[in-house]
């Protein structure tokens, strides 16, 4: 495909047209258009293209990710796309594949033909390699890719947060923790995994409340489960308690996605009068806005009923006390599965210490290791998996 034809076809992208908004594609277009200008215009455009390519790394991998994160006419009709859409996708992919096959030397050689008087100068232009070929070359193959690996905004990452204006933001470097990194609490982890697998298989599953003492691994368990099953299309959106009012907007965005999404509320605690308390109850169950089938809610708290209580709130006649207790339990009751993470006893704590010491290569006699671990826990206000991990880190630094 000659460069003029490639430039024309790049301008004619249809189903994958939103890729034209990407700076790298715009840089390619400027270079291809500069052959009909002057050598300075070409060199300026070529230098900018090299900068974009060097930043992107492998352009083939970059292109594949952008195509996967796209929402377009094909993703909107995956079950039965029209022949016209499939044909248009095939032509778009042919154009993008031709673009990826170009090297810096190819573009420079064409420049020498377009500007023969400057051929000597153009010989010093920087080079870049061709990108790896795309794993799909026609509409049917891209359709299969979307069906297998998913598509759209939630293909950008496994983990997401919510910005101050309610915008969903991809986390570029999420916590890489895995289930094997978490020691102890086997029964609790099995419950979370079983519920998550049911959710991924579109079987009945529950919202989960993980409650218990600090440092016991509640939040880490949720994040580790997401990392474990991200390849199966599991995603997580962390929502701060003060952002609960954004829940309907998040559900609306999630409903358009092929992924299974956990909305994660970490460290939940409310006052009964908190407006977010009532809002969350309605969103989980009982409100007019239904929760999509591909969304489940996982929350952690140090309080089983999520509400700060005082003895004063329990004073009054029998009817008042009953109403107060029903209000306090009304939110936690909406979580179909409650999992308790209690402070480990001495044996459990030392077992976690032993496992971590073995994993990180901390070789101390068992009696000495346990004595030091117990002393560390006393100074850190109690035993927990977090304390055990901090103890091991501390010991390792002492050995350096």
Within 8 A by CB and 6+ apart from 377, the residues are: 349, 383, 384, 387, 391
The rounded distance, in Å, linking the Cα atoms of 100 and 59 is 7
Which residue ranges of the chain lie beneath pLDDT 50?
A: 288, 309-314, 318-328
Tell me phi and psi for residue 284, to 5 degrees.
-70, -45
Q: Kindly write down the DSSP assignment for every residue of 70-130, as one continuous string.
A: ---TTGGGTTS--HHHHHHHHHHHHHHHHHHT--HHHHHHHHHHH-GGGHHHHTT----PP
pLDDT of residue 326: 46
pLDDT in tens, 287-303: 545 678 899 999 898 86
**Neighbouring C-alpha atoms within 13 Å toward the C-beta of 238:** 18
Q: Kindly write down the DSSP assignment for every residue of 267-313, as one continuous string.
A: S--B-TT-HHHHHHHHHHTTSSSPPPTTEEEEEEESSTTSB---GGG
pLDDT of residue 311: 42
Cα separation values, 271 from 11, 57, 275, 363, Å:
57, 50, 9, 48
Tell me phi and psi for residue 262, to 5 degrees.
-95, 125
131 DSSP assignment: P
pLDDT in tens, 91-111: 999 999 999 999 999 999 999
Q: What angle in degrees, to the nearest 10, is found between the helix axes of 83-100 and 59-68?
A: 160
pLDDT of residue 301: 85
Count of residues in the chain: 400
pLDDT of residue 11: 93
């Amino acid at each position: 495909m000659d460069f003029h034809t490639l430039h024309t076809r790049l301008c004619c992208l249809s189903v994958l047209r939103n890729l034209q908004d990407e700076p790298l594609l715009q840089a390619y277009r400027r270079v291809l258009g500069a052959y009909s200008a002057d050598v300075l215009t070409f060199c300026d455009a070529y230098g900018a293209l090299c900068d974009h390519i060097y930043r992107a790394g492998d352009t083939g991998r970059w292109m594949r990710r952008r195509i996967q994160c796209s929402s377009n006419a094909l993703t909107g009709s995956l079950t039965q796309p029209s022949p016209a859409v499939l044909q248009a996708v095939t032509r778009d992919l042919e154009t993008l594949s031709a673009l990826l096959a170009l090297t810096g030397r190819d573009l420079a050689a064409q420049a020498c033909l377009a500007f023969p008087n400057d051929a000597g100068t153009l010989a010093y232009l920087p080079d870049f390699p061709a990108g790896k070929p795309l794993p799909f070359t026609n509409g049917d193959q891209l359709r299969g890719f979307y069906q297998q690996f998913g598509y759209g905004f939630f293909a950008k990452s496994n983990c997401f947060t919510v910005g101050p204006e309610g915008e969903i933001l991809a986390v570029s470097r999420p916590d890489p923790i895995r289930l094997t990194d978490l020691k102890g609490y086997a029964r609790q982890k099995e419950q979370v995994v079983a519920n998550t697998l049911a959710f991924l298989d579109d079987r009945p599953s529950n919202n989960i409340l993980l409650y218990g003492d600090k440092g016991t691994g509640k939040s880490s368990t949720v994040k580790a489960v997401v990392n474990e099953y991200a390849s199966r299309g599991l995603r997580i959106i962390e929502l701060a308690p003060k952002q609960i009012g954004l829940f309907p907007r998040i559900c609306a965005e999630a409903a358009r996605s092929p992924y299974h999404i956990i909305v994660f509320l970490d460290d939940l605690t409310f006052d009964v009068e908190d407006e977010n308390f009532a809002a969350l109850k309605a969103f989980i169950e009982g409100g007019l806005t239904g929760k999509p089938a591909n969304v489940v809610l996982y929350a952690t708290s140090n309080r089983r009923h999520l509400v700060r209580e005082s003895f004063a709130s329990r004073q009054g006649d029998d009817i008042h006390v009953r109403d107060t207790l029903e209000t306090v339990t009304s939110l936690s009751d909406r979580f179909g599965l409650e999992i308790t993470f209690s402070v480990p006893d001495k044996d459990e704590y030392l077992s976690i210490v032993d496992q971590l010491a073995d994993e990180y290569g901390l070789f101390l006699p068992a009696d000495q290791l346990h004595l030091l671990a117990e002393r560390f826990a006393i100074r850190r206000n109690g035993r927990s998996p977090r304390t055990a991990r901090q103890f091991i880190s501390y010991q390792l630094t002492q050995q350096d």
